[in-house]
Structure formats: C-alpha cells, structure tokens
C-alpha cells in the first residue's frame, strides 16, 4: 500500500495560514469539501476535533497527523498542508507544527486507517524529507516530494 493511492494534488495546501489548531482543521476540512472527497465538511471538522480531545495528533518534529473516521466518508482520503510559520498544535514535543498529513476515512476502514498512519509515520522519519517539505512552496512540489519518498519506501 502506498500513500499515493489516497493523495491527490488538489488535496494539498502549501500555504495554510491558520490562527490556531481549530482554524487549521477547519481549513483542511474545507479543502476536502472543495475537492469533493467529503460531503460533510462540518461533520468532518467535528470528528477531527473530537479526536484531538483524546490526545494531540501533533507527533513531534514539526509534524501532525490529524485523523478521524466518519460515517459520511466513502473512502479513505489523505490531505497535506504546510504552515510556513508553524502553528501551536499542542504537539507531544511542545514544538510548532509545520507539516500536516490529514486522514479521514469510513468507520469500517479501521485496518487501512492504522496502516496509513504507520506509513506516514515511516515517511516522515526519512532523512531530510521533512526539511524538503518545509521548503516546498507549491502543491506540485509537495506532491512530487511525497510521491518520490513514498516510492522509495518498501
């Protein structure tokens, strides 16, 4: 399974500007709705915020992987955002988040959900990958970087 199966270039925002974590998730849910991959923008946001109440999905090293399952989602979807100035995402290491990989999927796709979370966690550990993502200024460059690294990983 490759991340590229669930990510499209129109699901990448290279210049997300958010006031806080909630605003960030709101904008990413809106991105999914604009791209036509979810019908319930408000429900998507509610599910993501509900998940964040459990524990922050800011995993450290400037990365967050907000994720949730929702009844209105027909298939697993991945979106990516870059926040050039960083945002307080209440990350586990206390540092700002610059790169977000958002996962949203149907309730019945729990196994795939976990596999994608693991895939992303593995990708972001690749040497130099996060630096390249932070420097990328366009959706096209971010998309190509992700596809390239995804293709290198087993």
User: Is 67 a known active-site residue?
Assistant: yes
Three-class DSSP labels, the chain: CCHHHCEEEEEEECCCCCCCHHHHHHHHHHHHHHCCCCCCHHHHHHHHHHHHHHCCCEEECCEECCEEECCCCCCCEEEEEEEEEEECCCCCCCCCEEEEEEEEECCCCHHHHHHHHHHHHHHCCCCCHHHHHHHCCCHHHHHHHHHHHHHHCC
Neighbouring-strand partners of residue 28: none
Q: Which of 21, 26, 47, 67 is catalytic?
A: 67
List the catalytic residues.
Answer: 67
């Amino acid at each position: 399974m490759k991340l590229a199966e669930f990510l499209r270039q129109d699901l990448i925002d290279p210049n997300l500007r958010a006031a806080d974590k909630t605003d960030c998730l709101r904008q990413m849910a809106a991105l999914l709705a604009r791209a036509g991959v979810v019908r319930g923008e408000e429900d998507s946001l509610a599910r993501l915020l509900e998940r964040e109440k459990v524990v922050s999905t800011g995993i450290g090293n400037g990365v967050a992987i907000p994720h949730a399952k929702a009844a209105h989602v027909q298939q697993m979807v991945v979106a990516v955002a870059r926040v050039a100035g960083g945002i307080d995402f209440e990350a586990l290491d206390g540092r700002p988040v610059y790169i977000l990989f958002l996962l949203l999927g149907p309730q019945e796709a729990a196994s795939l959900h976990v596999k994608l979370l693991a895939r992303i966690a593995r990708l972001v550990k690749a040497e130099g990958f996060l630096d390249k993502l932070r420097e990328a200024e366009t959706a096209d460059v971010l998309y190509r970087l992700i596809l390239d690294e995804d293709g290198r990983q087993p």
